[in-house]
A and B are shown apart, each in its own frame.
Chain A
Amino acid sequence: MRIKALPRWPTASLTARLALLFAAMTASLLIVVGLVMGRAVDAHFRELDDHELSGKLNLIGNLLQRADSPQAWAALPQRLDDAFVGHDTVGVLVRDAEGSVIYAVHVDHFDAAHAAGDALPATGAMWQKGSRHFIGRETLLHRPAVADAPGEPLRVLLSLDISHHVHFLEQVRVRLWLGIALSAVVSALLGWLAAHKGLAPLRQVTDTARQLSAGQLGVRLVEGDAPAEVRELVEAFNGMLARLEGDFRRLSEFSADIAHELRTPISNLMTQTSVALSQTRTADDYREVLASNLEEYQRIARMVSDMLFLAQAENGRLPRPEEAVMLADELRALVEFYEALAEAQQVTMTVQGAATVTGDRLMLRRAVSNLLSNALRHTAPGGRIDIRLDCRAGRVCLSVSNPGEPIPPDQLARIFERFHRAGAERSRHGEGAGLGLAITRSIVETHGGRITVQSADGLTTFCIDLPQRLTGA
């Protein structure tokens, strides 16, 4: 299974990505807030400054209005000085129409050009001189007519030093940026911490996986305080380990079983042959030994071919079954096959029902044959083996029931395993190596079916559940 890598960050760890994401989110949020706040503060200060400028202009206008006598006119500069004393932030330049300066204070606040006579816009302007910032505006005021002189328009230039506001704003901006940067770093750290801690179980999974070997399949991860998302992974991982452990244990037992099953006949053969060779015997004795050996060989050969069959089934190498199989016909043929044996054991067999499945006729025969021989083996004289075919909801249930000793539950679960024999003390005579039911299960599973067994009230029932073949299909 391959998971496509994200195109952008092919290698960055999840923790790093989350930390970066947190930092970026915090920073962008604060930047937006900062910009909005900055604008608002800026506008507020500008309004304040404009207001102050307007106030000063009104003051100048009032003083001019009152200079309606030559004495008053002569005293005007003095009055203006009085008005602006202590107001170091205000620069005033009053000129008459010819351009001669009537009053000036803090002229150095103005640009050289404006001081020399250039006009300032009436809507206001902003400039910088050295480290100081100013706003200013120009307006026309009328000198009232007095006895010896007519009224005339006066150009009034007014400037206001707003350096403290500008500096304040700059400071605010710098702090804001610092704050944003710090928050981003902190949130990145927090994000990293959260992700790191949250993903700790993942690292545990990795470590465990790295340490795993066949001998240590008993290891399990602790679900503990893992977050919900990771807990699922941990559960799945633990489940996988449990299944692997089970499979592996069965495989080991299986190998041990093979060795054991082969050891018995081989040891028989060796003993028998060496005893036979230890002294001269009659031809009949030799013949007897050879015939006995042949029987052991046949047992081994059958076991080997059964094992091969099982291995093929497990590797999915059995052919895909495709023909329509009329199960009732097959059952009749099988009952016919076992009839003589059943009669000899005084056991009767009945067949009921009909069904068609898709599959391989010979393999299905073999599967059911194993069930029948198993049933015959465990049915006491006078008993009856019932074979039924039931169709229900697109499934076929082929059941074989026989009266007999109930199988204990712990044995029921293992009855389809290889080399399993009901009752270890059972004699070997006339019985296979305990592979029959395992083969039946393999065949059933190859056909997309399931096999189950129930044992209660003196009745043991095997049920093969197969998909029904639809007519015309």
Chain B
Amino acid sequence: MKILIVEDEPKTGDYLRQGLAEAGFVVDLVRDGLDGLHHALGGEYDLLVLDVMLPALDGWGILQTVRRQGLEMPVLFLTARDQVEDRVRGLELGADDYLVKPFAFAELLARVRTLLRRGKSKEPEVLRAADLELDLLRRRVLRAGVRVDLTAKEFALLELLLRRQGEVLPRSLIASQVWDMNFDSDTNVIEVAVRRLRAKVDEPFEPKLIRTVRGMGYVLEAPEAMG
């Protein structure tokens, strides 16, 4: 997967490139709008990450030209301003997602993966990790062949973790995907929910699949994949 980052702030750009490269993507970084546009038009990227405020040509300008050329790759905007007009304008021009600085890198990574997955391969009916099995049609969870009873929300949480196996999911993403709460709660409600899920699907069994990544979020990973 090839990603283009257009970001003029030097530190942010470097860290984004490093982070995304380490997450397994092929990353190009350019520092101004015109370079960004040339790369975007000729580079066959799977995703563009654009800063709004850029020298020479701003993010909106790049997006407009890219879309006018008929390129349909997803575009993720980064902006320092949490302004509604910006959001509306971005969506009108055909942006796919939007992140306000400062953001957690885990959040960016999760969103990048969501965008890249969009419209791809048909979802399987059964999700698996090690001996954990989640049957979407029958709404049933088996661990080591034993039926595990989950509430609707626990089921949704486990489904999310399984679909995004190996990805660290930030708490805010979990809150938004499972409960549709698109704001930070100042409580440890996600922690508690994950703890309860663990108690049911992880604690009585080996190996442990759900892991806490301190300061970042949660990840579900089968041990062989961790190896």
Residues of A at the B interface (CB closer than 8 Å) are 290-295, 297-298, 301-302, 304-305, 308-309, 312, 317-319, 333-334, 336-341, 343-344, 362, 365-366, 369-370, 373, 376-377, 430-432, 436
Q: Total contacts A to B, CB within 8 angstroms?
A: 80
B64-108 contacts to A, CB under 8 A, are 82-84, 100, 102-104
Q: A301-B102, A344-B192 are in contact. Are A369 and B181 (CB under 8 A)?
A: yes
Q: Do A366 and B183 have beta carbons less than 8 Å apart?
A: yes
Would you list the 6 A-B pairs with minimal beta carbon distance, nearest first?
A432-B186, A294-B215, A291-B214, A340-B193, A291-B215, A341-B189
Residue ID in chain A nearest B184 by CB atoms = A302
Q: A340-B196, A362-B182 are in contact. Are A373 and B84 (CB under 8 A)?
A: no
- For the complex formed, measure the closest distance between the CB of B123 and the CB atoms of chain A, giving whole angstroms: 24
Contact digits for B45-63, partner A, Cβ 8 Å, 1 yes 0 no: 0000000000000000000
Q: A294-B216, A373-B186, A432-B186 are in contact. Are A304 and B181 (CB under 8 A)?
A: no
CA distance A388 to B82 in the complex (A): 33
Q: Does B224 contact A (CB under 8 A)?
A: no
Q: A294-B216, A317-B84 are in contact. Are A340 and B189 (CB under 8 A)?
A: yes
- Interface class of chain A by DSSP: helix
Q: Do A341 and B183 have beta carbons less than 8 Å apart?
A: no
Q: Does B153 contact A (CB under 8 A)?
A: yes
- For the complex formed, measure the closest distance between the CB of B195 and the CB atoms of chain A, giving whole angstroms: 8
List of A residues within 8 angstroms of B187 by Cβ:
338, 341, 373, 376-377, 430
Q: Do A337 and B189 have beta carbons less than 8 Å apart?
A: yes
Residue ID in chain B nearest A377 by CB atoms = B187
Q: Do B180 and A369 have beta carbons less than 8 Å apart?
A: no
List of B residues within 8 angstroms of A338 by Cβ:
187, 189
B interface residue count range (under 10 / 10 to 19 / 20 to 34 / 35 or more): 20 to 34
List of B residues within 8 angstroms of A341 by Cβ:
187-189, 192-193
Q: A295-B215, A304-B102, A337-B175 are in contact. Are A362 and B189 (CB under 8 A)?
A: no
Residue ID in chain A nearest B154 by CB atoms = A340
List of A residues within 8 angstroms of B185 by Cβ:
337, 369, 373
Q: Do B215 and A298 have beta carbons less than 8 Å apart?
A: yes
Q: Pick the residue among A295, A305, A333 that contacts B180 (CB under 8 A).
A: A333
List of A residues within 8 angstroms of B180 by Cβ:
333
List of A residues within 8 angstroms of B205 by Cβ:
none
Q: Does B25 contact A (CB under 8 A)?
A: no
B178-227 contacts to A, CB under 8 A, are 179-189, 192-193, 195-196, 214-216
Among B187, B214, B215, max chain A CB count under 10 A is at: B187
Residue ID in chain B nearest A345 by CB atoms = B192
List of A residues within 8 angstroms of B184 by Cβ:
302, 305
- Interface class of chain B by DSSP: loop
| A-B contact list, 29 entries, CB within 8 Å | A291-B215, A292-B215, A294-B214, A295-B215, A301-B103, A302-B184, A302-B186, A308-B82, A309-B82, A312-B82, A312-B83, A318-B84, A336-B179, A337-B179, A338-B189, A339-B153, A340-B153, A340-B189, A340-B192, A341-B188, A341-B189, A341-B192, A343-B196, A365-B183, A366-B183, A369-B185, A373-B187, A430-B187, A431-B186
CA distance A337 to B152 in the complex (A): 11
Residue ID in chain A nearest B186 by CB atoms = A432
List of B residues within 8 angstroms of A431 by Cβ:
186
- For the complex formed, measure the closest distance between the CB of A262 and the CB atoms of chain B, giving whole angstroms: 13
Residue ID in chain A nearest B106 by CB atoms = A294
Q: Do B183 and A362 have beta carbons less than 8 Å apart?
A: yes
CA distance A302 to B103 in the complex (A): 9
- For the complex formed, measure the closest distance between the CB of B192 and the CB atoms of chain A, giving whole angstroms: 5
List of B residues within 8 angstroms of A377 by Cβ:
187
Q: Do B188 and A430 have beta carbons less than 8 Å apart?
A: yes
List of A residues within 8 angstroms of B100 by Cβ:
305
- Beyond the given pairs A337-B189, A338-B187, A373-B187, 8 more chain A to chain B contacts, judged by CB atoms under 8 angstroms and listed by A's residue number, are A291-B215, A293-B215, A336-B153, A337-B175, A337-B185, A341-B193, A343-B196, A344-B195
CA distance A298 to B104 in the complex (A): 8
List of A residues within 8 angstroms of B104 by Cβ:
294, 298, 301
CA distance A172 to B143 in the complex (A): 126
- For the complex formed, measure the closest distance between the CB of A295 and the CB atoms of chain B, giving whole angstroms: 5
Contact digits for B90-134, partner A, Cβ 8 Å, 1 yes 0 no: 000000000010111000000000000000000000000000000
CA distance A430 to B186 in the complex (A): 7
List of A residues within 8 angstroms of B215 by Cβ:
290-295, 298
- For the complex formed, measure the closest distance between the CB of B11 and the CB atoms of chain A, giving whole angstroms: 14
List of A residues within 8 angstroms of B216 by Cβ:
294
List of B residues within 8 angstroms of A333 by Cβ:
179-181
- For the complex formed, measure the closest distance between the CB of B166 and the CB atoms of chain A, giving whole angstroms: 19
